[in-house]
Structure 1
Amino acid sequence: MAKEHSHSIFQLSRDEKLICPKDRKTLVRTARFLKPCVQTVSQAVTVPNTPLLFDIFSQNLKQWPETVDIKGWHVSQKRWEEWVDRMAGKCGALWNLTGICDAIMSSRYEIRCNKDSILGLVEFWCPETNTFVFPWGEATVTLEDVMILGGFSTLGESVRRPVEGKSVKIEEELNRKRLIMSRNKSRKATHGCWIKHFMEEEREYEHVAFLSLWLSRYVFPSLPEKIVAKHVFPVAIHLSSNTRMALAPAVLASLYKNLTLLKNQAMSSREEMSMTASGPLRLLQLWAFERFPSLGPGIPNTLKPGEPRAA
C-alpha cells in the first residue's frame, strides 16, 4: 500500500512500488503529483469574460489596423553565420555544458515570418489564462515546447541574477563599448557595428560580446530593434563563465507578455492606425508549424543528426 508523505499546498507525494524493466525487481520510489485545484466542477473557476479578438472580428465590430509591423524577426546574416562557426570551434563544448548550443545553432537557419499565422493565433489569445482558446478547446506554448523547439534550458540560475566580483568589470567594459558605438553616425550600438568591432578589432571580450548579440537578436528581441540591449549583459557574462541559465522560463514569459500586449494594442487601435509587435514570435511560429502542420511548409525538412529542431 502506498505510504503518503507530508506535502505542500500544491504538491502531494507518496511512496509507490515500481518494477525495474531490466531485472524485474520491485523498487520503492517517491512519486509526486500536483494537487487538483478543485474537488468538484461547481468549484471550478468560470471562463474569463474578456472577449477574444476572434469574437470581435467575426462580428465585424473591429478589424486589424492597416499596418502591423513585426519587429525583432531577424534572419541570419552572413557575418553572423561566420561568427557562429568561428565561436563554435572555440566554445562549442562550453555551449553544451550551459545548454545553449542548439539555441545558438538555430539562429543560423532562416524562418520566414508568416504574419497571417501569427495574427490568426493572436485572435484566440486569452491573457487571463495565457492560452489560445480555440472553438474546440484550449492550447498554449509550454516550457517543454520552448526547450525542444527553441533549444533553451529549463534549468539553471535566474536571468535576473546580478554579476559579482570580477564579472562587474566585464559588464562595465561592455557598457563602455556600447556607449562609444552610440556616438557614431547612427548614434546606436547596432548589430552590424557590434559584429564588426568584436570580430575584427577586439578579441578580449569576444565570447561574451557574441552571446550578448545572440541574446539581443534572437532570444529577447525588443524595441528599438537591431540594437544590442545592455540588460542582457549579465546573462551573457554568466553563460560565458560556464553558468547554466534558465532561459526557457524567461523566453516563455516574454512570449506571453508580448502576445498580451499585441492583443491589447489591437483592442485599442483604430483600423487606419499602424501597430508594432515584438518578442520571441519566431518561437510561436515554430510551435504553430509543429502543432498545426497544415500551416507550415508543404514538406518539412528532414533533420540530420545533431541539427536543432529549427532546422
Structure 2
Amino acid sequence: MQGSEESLLQLPHAQHQSHSASVKPDHALRPGALQMHIDYHETMKEGLKNLGLYQMVEVHHCQVDRELITALVERWRPETNSFHLPVGECTVTLEDVSCLWGLSVTGKTISGCTDDNWSQLILDCLGQEVYDGYEWDDNDFYHKKVENKGEPNEKVTILQNYVRLAWLRKKFANTDLDEVEDQDVIDQHTRAYAMELFGTIMFPDSNSSSVRLMYLQFLEDLGPRGQNYYNWGGAVLACLYRELSRACRYKASSINGPLLLLQMWSWTRFPIGRPRPHDLPSDNEPVDERRAYGAKWTIPHRWKSNPKKGTSHYRDQFERLKSNVVNWTPYRGYENIMHWHWIRDQAFFPCRVWCIHFWEVEYHLPERVFRQFGFFQAIPPPAPPAFSLLEDIRKWTRGRGLFGDGTSVDWSKHFHQFIVEPPQNFTRRSEHGQVYPYLPDRYHEYMKWFIHHGMLSVYPTQDNEEILSQTVPEQEGDVAGIGYVPDAMIQARLRFRQLKQTAKGISMVKTPGQKAFGLMMLENCRDVLSDLGQVALFRAMLEQAELPVDIRNIDISTDFPDQFPMEPRVEVPQTSMYGDMSDIFQSMRSIRIEGHTLGESGGLGDGGAGPSMANPPRRKKKPPNRYSDSKFRHARDREHGNEDEDLV
C-alpha cells in the first residue's frame, strides 16, 4: 500500500518533538545507560566471529551526547523514516550499520518467542543453575517479587524474561581467562559478553539495568560461522527507527535504542559537534578481523572547540546546514579496508526491505536518500508506505504479544508476511546494468520539490506563525554562566519576515504602477534569504508566481506613465576615495536641474558662462554683532527703548 507524496508530513507540528524548539528550547532527552563492564578477552575472538559480533568489540568505547541526539530527534519524521534537514532527506541506512558497526544485514531474522521459562537455557548457555524459576541467593531475575519465602530476610524473585546486568557482571566480569583451559567456560563468558553488548549498546530499552533473556536463543551454538548467520544489522536498524519514531513525539522525555550508532552516523556525515577522528588501519589485516569504520570515533576525543553548549547550539547548527559541508558518501575510498560483512552484503544496501527485531518492524527506504549511495535520485522519490500502516505496526509491543492464558506470541510467525517479502531495488540502471550516478545539477530541482513536501526547519512558518511573530526574550540569569546564545529562533523570525516581504514584493511586481518598488523589495529579500541559506525557497516562490527566477529579467519599463518620463541614469565611474573627481563633474554636466543644464564651465543655464563647479563662489561674510560684547549692554538697552536705564 503506497502513500501519497502530497501528504508526507501527517504528524501535526504540535505533536512532534520539534515543537520543543519554540516551547522549551533547552530540553534534552534522557538516554539509557550505555556502558560495558565485562572486558573482552582474546579467547572470545573465535566465538564472537562465529556470532558475527567481533567488529563490535572496538566500537562501544564512547559516550553519548544527549543534546546532539535531541537535536537529531527533532528532525526525525516517522512518515518517511528519515531526518528532514535544510539540505533534504537523510537517514541511517543498512550501509551505515554495516560500515560503522561491522554487522551483517542479511541472514536469519532476529525474531521468535520473547516470554518463556528460560531456566534450562540459562544453565546451558551461562552455566548458572536456576531452580524452577527461582534463584535463592540473588535478587536478579524478575519481575514479580515474593518475600518471606525460605529463610528469614531472604527474597525470592520469579524468573521472567529479564536478567540484571549487575548479576552478569558479578558472575563473569572478574574472571582471568588466561588461566582457563575449559572451552565451555570460555564460551559461557563469550555469551555473557554478548548479552551485556545487547543490553547496553545494541538493544537497550527503558529497563536499562537489565537485558532480555530472549537473546540467549541465538547464542546457543557458537559453532562455525555459516551456522550462525543472523541479521543483527537489520535488527539494530529496526530498533533505532522504532525508538526515533517514539521519541519524536512531543511528550517523550527519554530515548533508548542504539544511540551510539546514531551519534557515529551524525559525526561521520555532519561537521556538528564531532571530535577529531582516528585514522583507520591499512588493509594488511585479515578480512574477517578488520575493524569497523566506527572505530575511528572511539579513541579519547579531542575537539577544536568545546561542543557542550546545549541543545540550542546543535539546533542552530542544523538550521544553518549547507549541502556542500555534508559528507554524502563517506565510505568511498575505504573499500579496500572494509570487513567481510560489507563485502558480502553490499548488494543489499540500496534495497527497500523490512527490518525486523521481534515485535519491532520498520521499513528501510533507501530510495529516498539515494544521494547517500551516489546513485541517481528520482524526483519525487518513490512514495513510502501509508502512514496508517506504519502506525498500526508500531502499536505492537511485547505486552501485546501475550495471549489471555499468558503464552507468548511467536513473532517470526506473526510477522511472517514481512519476513518473506522480497527486497525491492529502485536503482535506475542503463541497458548494460550500470547504475546511473547522482547528478549534482538536479539538486535545485530536488530542493524545489522538498520545499513543498518536507520539513526544512523546526520552526514552521504556517503552523507556528503566532510564535514567530513574538519577540525573542532576552537572556536571563548570571552572565558569567552563559556559554552560548542561541540564534536559530532569531533567524527563523527573520526568515519568516523575509518570506512575507517576498510574497508582498511578488504581488507588487504584478501590479501596474508598483513594479519598480516590488522589484526593489525582491532584490532586498533575495540578498537576505541568500545569507540565511534559503535561496531555493526564494526561487520556488518566484516559479510558483510564474516570474523569472533571475529577478533581473523582470521587465518594469512599461510601469512608468508618459507624463513622468524616466530621467537618464548617470553612470558614475569607479574612482578611489582620494582620486580625481573631474570625471564625475564631467558626467554631471548633462543632468537637468529645474529646467536648466550645467554648462561647459559648470554653471546653470543653456551652456553659458557661470561660476565653476570646481571653484564655487565665496559666501558673504556675516557682519559681526556689535552688541555682542558685555560692555555695550547698556547702549543696546537704550537702543531698544529701555527708559528705566536712562532715569537711573
| TM-score interval, smaller chain | 0.5 to 0.7
Structure with bigger gyration radius: 2
Q: 2:43 aligns with which of 81, 90, 101?
A: 90
| Preserved CA contact (<8 Å) 2:28 2:66 | no
Aligned residue in 2 for 1:196: 170
| Preserved CA contact (<8 Å) 2:28 2:67 | no
Aligned residue in 2 for 1:286: 264
* Superposition map of 1:1-311 within 5 A: 44=5, 46-51=7-12, 53=16, 56-58=19-21, 60=22, 62-63=23-24, 68-74=29-35, 76-77=36-37, 80-81=38-39, 84-85=40-41, 89-107=42-60, 109=61, 111-161=62-112, 169-171=120-122, 173=124, 177=130, 180=135, 181-182=138-139, 189-199=163-173, 203=185, 205-238=188-221, 242=225, 243-264=228-249, 267-268=250-251, 275-297=253-275, 299-305=276-282, 306-311=290-295
Note closer, same or farther for the CA distance 1:186–1:251 as it changes in structure 2 (3 Å cut): farther
C-alpha RMSD of the superposition: 3.5
Aligned amino acid, residue 197 of structure 1: K
Aligned amino acid, residue 119 of structure 1: T
SS in 2 for 1:294: coil
Aligned amino acid, residue 100 of structure 1: L
SS in 1 for 2:29: strand
Higher share of residues assigned strand? 1
2: CA distance, partners of 1:259 / 1:99: 25
Q: How far is the alpha carbon of 1:244 from its aligned partner? A: 1.8
- The answer to which of 200-209 and 255-264 deviates more is 200-209
Note closer, same or farther for the CA distance 1:195–1:128 as it changes in structure 2 (3 Å cut): same
Q: How far is the alpha carbon of 1:130 from its aligned partner? A: 0.6
> For each residue in 1:249-281, what CA deviation from the matched residue of structure 2 results, as whole angstroms up to 9, or x when unmatched?
1100100110111112xx136xxxxx2221111
> For each residue in 1:222-243, what CA deviation from the matched residue of structure 2 results, as whole angstroms up to 9, or x when unmatched?
1211213212211232556741
1: CA distance, partners of 2:256 / 2:191: 24
> What runs of 5+ residues in structure 1 fail to find an aligned partner?
1-8, 10-36, 270-274
1: CA distance, partners of 2:263 / 2:270: 10
Note closer, same or farther for the CA distance 1:179–1:129 as it changes in structure 2 (3 Å cut): farther
Scaled by the length of structure 1, what TM-score is found? 0.67
Note closer, same or farther for the CA distance 1:198–1:55 as it changes in structure 2 (3 Å cut): closer
Note closer, same or farther for the CA distance 1:121–1:185 as it changes in structure 2 (3 Å cut): farther
Q: How far is the alpha carbon of 1:101 from its aligned partner? A: 0.9
Scaled by the length of structure 2, what TM-score is found? 0.34
Aligned residue in 2 for 1:272: none
2: CA distance, partners of 1:95 / 1:48: 42
| Preserved CA contact (<8 Å) 1:219 1:280 | yes
Note closer, same or farther for the CA distance 1:91–1:54 as it changes in structure 2 (3 Å cut): closer
Question: Runs ≥4 in structure 1, deviation > 6 angstroms?
Answer: 184-188
Higher RCO (CA 8 Å, separation ≥ 6 residues) = 1
SS in 2 for 1:293: coil
Note closer, same or farther for the CA distance 1:56–1:255 as it changes in structure 2 (3 Å cut): same
Aligned amino acid, residue 69 of structure 2: I
SS in 2 for 1:132: strand
| Preserved CA contact (<8 Å) 2:92 2:262 | yes
Note closer, same or farther for the CA distance 1:129–1:207 as it changes in structure 2 (3 Å cut): same
SS in 2 for 1:217: helix
% identity of equivalent residues:
22
1: CA distance, partners of 2:155 / 2:245: 36
Give the aligned length. Answer: 249
2: CA distance, partners of 1:98 / 1:254: 19
> For each residue in 1:64-93, what CA deviation from the matched residue of structure 2 results, as whole angstroms up to 9, or x when unmatched?
68563211322x43xx23xx12xxx32423
> What runs of 5+ residues in structure 2 fail to find an aligned partner?
141-153, 176-183, 283-289, 296-648
Q: How far is the alpha carbon of 1:219 from its aligned partner? A: 1.3
Q: How far is the alpha carbon of 1:152 from its aligned partner? A: 1.3
2: CA distance, partners of 1:239 / 1:256: 29
| Preserved CA contact (<8 Å) 2:17 2:248 | no
Aligned amino acid, residue 46 of structure 2: A
